[in-house]
Structure 1
Amino acid sequence: MDSLPKIPRFLKSSGGWIDFEIHFSEDLVHCARYRRLGKLYVDCVRSVRINAKLRQENTSIAGLPPFPPKIVFISHQQLEQRRILLQNWLQAIASLPHTSCIYQQYASFVSECKAKSACYNDKKEIKVFFLNDSFVSIVTNGKRLAESVAIALDFPSNLCRKFAIYLQIKASGSWQLHKKLRSFDQAFDFLKPRTRLCFTRDFFSPAIDYELGQSEKGFSFLFNEARFHYLSGSLIPRTVLDDDYFKKFLDENKEENFLQLARCQPYYGCFTFGPLLCSLPNEGTKCLLTIGDYKVRIRFFLQNAFEATLSIRHIAFASVSTDSISMKLQLKPDFPKISSITFATSDVQVISSMISSMLDPF
């Protein structure tokens, strides 16, 4: 492969996507966005200054814990640390006298959260789509949606936690993956006129394929997924002859033959991202990134194309810049010569979530 294939781009994000599961009290747990909490902090500071100016009082927020600042890259471990800091900051505000202007801002914020949480008790019907644009209707309150869909499809119970819900947004006439919903995300919050929810595997593994293939619904899921990856360009045929057979099997509706051939391809069951820019071997090198089967494959395009494969065991963590345009893969100390690799692309949110899903078992 000497030329750079055109892979469909995932949707570019404007940032501010990180949500946190905040425990206000025993009876209130709410998903709060960092940007919204940052606005609360700004409102608190503004209220203190206005109050001090009008009443000539020496009011300050010096006694409160510091609000966690933005940083360039943030890993999943740092996300949990930030969640705890934000939670402690909010709980410290809750302990202030109720007449405090800061507490009044906090009370208004909590009131909004309670009103929002009250809407989630009732179950509603929701459509969850697959990569091939088919869908299933689920009656749910929006929690643990991926598991509910897996159960509705009669997937083996031990696989129900191996799937995820992704947000898709319609852009340029097609549906594009935007971000992965986390366990505490409320699905109904993301449904807008040009958005929908998509069900797919959390990460890719031949062991999962084998179990899915034992049932009719599981086989249909695998075929539709492989067909999507082939038609979108993520599944690149090994030879021209393989490509001809792919087209022939699709035309003749030979699903089993198509899936068998797909599983023989080097990048079957993986998501391919690119073209994107990489820091190796030189800053700004064009490459493709393929994620799946507990591996991260990087195909570099210089004068000749060559590939480097990273086992997931070599990766310590993946962190995303706060502007959501670059991602750093931090490698473990036992990896020779290279400590980290940086990628510049608009797909970093989806890439990071897929890599982190593979890291979880380790």
Structure 2
Amino acid sequence: MIATRKLGELTVGAQGLGCMGMSSAYGVRDNDDESIATVQRALDSGITLLDTANVYGPETNERLIGRAIAGRRDEVVLATKFGIVWGADGSMGARGDATYVKQSCDASLERLGVDHIDLYYQHRVDPNVPVEETWGALSELVAAGKVRYLGISEASADTIRRAHAVHPVTALQSEWSLWTRDIEAEIAPTCRELGIGIVPFSPLGRGFLTGAITATTDLPADDMRRRLPRFADGNIDSNLAIVAALRELADEKGVTAGQLALAWVQSRGDDVVPIPGTKRRTYLEQNVGSLDITLTAADLARIEAAAPTDAIAGARYPEGLARVAGK
């Protein structure tokens, strides 16, 4: 069984499981039975934090996770989210008004088949609604027993402070990996000042840092990564050079490049619980294996030299998906 870590007052396994890719974003939804088996293997391994959202699918992922945890609810720290809304043109928007918050929570509870959510995130901050209104509604959900703890995703340091003043923020979920380090300058220190845990999503660079993706054509036609600048022609070759350097270091330690990259994220602090996503038991077991990797100061220096922040080619998101951290 894996060790535990703390997100604020919430105790979870030292690694969580991101469930988005089981139902959306990374190609066709091809095998719910394997996805359910992966969730259950995760629980058997001591992973407790399962991460989903109303927008994954949409809605189908919450139903899938509800099926997967049936009969095992007491083993799970169940996290879901509200707040992302999609425009007709595929652009990302957000909604955070009190009515929507409460409606979203009730709908998620029904889809998940549970009577409470352990960790409920504001998935994106609505620029047209004060965060105080959103968090006032969230605090009412806690008082009603529908939610235990609250989180926020891809928020700026100032927004985190404002939300925390209304009701304690237990966890920040933001992208953090060897090729996305935006939160390190201001956001992570703010979380640590306030006692907020950090839940990195895409700690493997949306799978790129594993080395399994060598060309955009490797990706299914409906895979959202085809739209991301870092996977685009002209950028992908530059980024593959970083993966090659990581693989050299990983080979020396007898691990995979993905395990090394994940171990780096896990080394960022005891308040960090990454949620690598997978829908396959094989990859889950590789991810869990990264928890056994010890990185020395020399290892960390070599990893950072192999993957310097300024060497990453391409933005995180294209126009229309880029309304993220800092809002």
Higher helix share: 2
Q: When the two structures are superposed, what TM-score results if normalisation uses the length of structure 1?
A: 0.24
Q: When the two structures are superposed, what TM-score results if normalisation uses the length of structure 2?
A: 0.26
* Largest Rg, 1 or 2: 1
Name which structure has the greater RCO, CA cutoff 8 Å, separation 6+: 2
Higher strand share: 1
